Amino acid sequence: MIAPSLLSADFARLADEVQRIADADWVHVDVMDAHFVPNLTLGLPVVQAIQAVSPVPLDCHLMIEHPERWAPGYAEAGARNVTVHAEACTDPRAVARDLKAAGALAGLAIKPGTPLDTWLDVLPEFDTLLVMTVEPGFGGQSFMPEVLPKVREARRLVEAGHLQLFLEVDGGINADTIEQAAEAGADVFVAGSAVYGADDPARAIAALRAQAARAR
């Protein structure tokens, strides 16, 4: 699946910007609170407004503190997938249960320096594992191939039947990097600048999707 990130879209024209990626699988919405990450983007009222007009299901990536308090609201707003950061959670199992009770898929994200092992025991509660391939906070950064062993390990656990998860990669995904990520076992690819920076976002989505499918 290809999930274009609205972080690289024109924030003054979000309704038009989601129409430009109508053939994407998910639309990735980066929620940043200026505490968990240095940057500040948008919150629930804007997500509700996007949800009301988007032809594509929402994939909300919450880079915020206290996700247990705020995350369920995004599920209640109708997001298909809501991802919280492991580093910000005091009780990830409870967050996963609340998200699923509100009708969303539950995602757990880990930063580049966060080991996978620490979170293996809670992952059975989740539907999505988001492996950050840049430090969270900003679009347009360079892909970090050194995190791919975590994707490979998660894919191995899924193949062995120990986990059932979408494996999402986020950060620096473009025509030069998507094949490595797909080969490592990712199946959901967030792409901000590679889609919204392209002259034709629909063509960029199709090209990335074909590249990933070939590499897998």
Q: Which residues are annotated as a binding site for a divalent metal cation?
A: 28, 30, 61, 170
- Does 7 participate in binding ligand DX5 (rule CB under 6 A)? yes
Q: Please identify, using beta-carbon distances, which residue of 157 and 168 lies nearer to ligand DX5.
A: 168
Residue positions annotated with a catalytic role = 30, 170
- Does 173 participate in binding ligand DX5 (rule CB under 6 A)? yes
Q: By CB under 6 A, name the one of 92, 171, 185, 201 that touches ligand DX5.
A: 171
Minimum distance of Zn ion from residue 49's CB (angstroms)? 19
- Does 38 participate in binding ligand DX5 (rule CB under 6 A)? no
| 119, amino acid identity | W
Q: End-to-end CA distance of the chain, in Å?
A: 12
Contact region with ligand DX5 (CB under 6 A), list: 40-48, 71-79, 148-156, 184-192? 184-192
Backbone CA torsion sign across 132, 82, 129, 11: negative
60's CB contacts (< 8 A; 6+ apart) are 29, 31, 47, 74, 79, 81, 82, 83
- Quick one: DSSP state of residue 177? T
Ranked by CB distance to ligand DX5, the top (closest) residue is 192
Strand (E) or helix (H) holding 167: strand 166-170
- Does 83 participate in binding ligand DX5 (rule CB under 6 A)? no
Q: Please identify, using beta-carbon distances, which residue of 104 and 162 lies nearer to Zn ion.
A: 104
> What residue numbers does the annotated binding site for substrate cover?
5, 61, 137-140, 170-172, 192-193
Given a contact cutoff of 8 angstroms between Cβ atoms, the answer to whether 66 and 73 are in contact is no
Using alpha carbons, select from 88, 77, 20 the residue that is nearest to residue 46: 77
Q: Which positions lie near ligand DX5, rule CB under 6 A?
A: 5, 7-8, 28, 30, 61, 134, 136-141, 170-173, 190-194
